[in-house]
Amino acid sequence: MDFSENDTPKTRLYGRRRSHGLKPSQWQYLQESVAETSLLHFTDAFEKRVFSHIYLEIGFGAGEHLLAQAEACSEAAFIGAEPFENGFVQAHQKAARLSNLFLHNEDVRLLLPLFPPASLDGVYVLFPDPWPKRRHQKRRLMNKAFLEALALLFKPGGELRFATDCLDYAAEVIRLIEESSDWRWKTTTPRTPHTLVEVPCFCKATTQQILKAHTSFFARPLSWPETRYECKALQRGRACCYLSALYGAK
């Protein structure tokens, strides 16, 4: 599968693999946990146990959203992909007691081909690296090709959650979803009271137009546990956009 647009290399991972060095104990933990969660072992758990639903979180960071979901629903399987080692170790250490959580220290693009078509009940892409500079935007994970590849893995009615504090990224994903016949908006998500966002005048005209038509997406869905990145963005007063789309004909 090639998720690239323009001339982005197929599997090049942009962004950090690690920040500050891991402590020796974390390093050892990483070696052990990576071995036990390698792609080779990916299907083992699914052969041994039947899960009611299967969800995937892409770039789970330190795992706040995914862990809370897995704790709340023990019959469903929650799979996470996070190549950033520091985040992976933190999440994996907290997750050890959950038998329905499967964390992978991998680029998700290596994991996706392992899923059969129409196998996922939900995919979460929460605050992906925004790459705000124009010349870096082709590095963004979510683009038309990636969304189309994800759609093949969805069961009808499955939910795609996407969140970002990068306004033009939000507008671009809204546009991709609205232009595709694969998706419809989930309108029943209970959200925090509506906070009308002043769309900054420095945004491109098309971005302003799209965002002004969808200001309700700037209210937090109550059932989405807050992530670390989101918490920092909100503390800095940044507007966050939360999209929820269902797979299946409009």
Ligand X SMILES: C[S@@+](CC[C@H](N)C(=O)[O-])C[C@H]1O[C@@H](n2cnc3c(N)ncnc32)[C@H](O)[C@@H]1O
Q: Which of 212, 213, 220, 171 is nearest to 194 (CA)?
A: 220
Query: Which C-beta is closer to ligand X: that of 139 or that of 184?
Result: 139
Sign of CA dihedral 42, 43, 47, 49: positive
- Whether residue 229 contacts residue 127, with contact meaning beta carbons closer than 8 Å, is answered with yes
Q: How far is the CB of 90 from ligand X (least distance, A)?
A: 11
Annotated catalytic residues are: 129
Distance CA 148, CA 156 (A): 14
Which residue in the block uniquely carries the two structure tokens 């083992």? Answer: 44
In the chain, where does DSSP find H-type helix? 24-36, 44-48, 64-72, 85-95, 108-111, 144-153, 167-179, 205-212, 228-235
Which residue number has the CB closest to ligand X? 59
Q: How far is the CB of 202 from ligand X (least distance, A)?
A: 22
86: helix, strand or coil: helix
Q: How far is the CB of 241 from ligand X (least distance, A)?
A: 13
Tokens standing for residue 247:
């797979």
215: number of Cβ within 10 Å: 16
Q: How far is the CB of 43 from ligand X (least distance, A)?
A: 19
- Interacting residues toward ligand X by CB under 6 A: 13, 15, 58-61, 81-84, 87, 107-109, 126-129, 141, 227-230
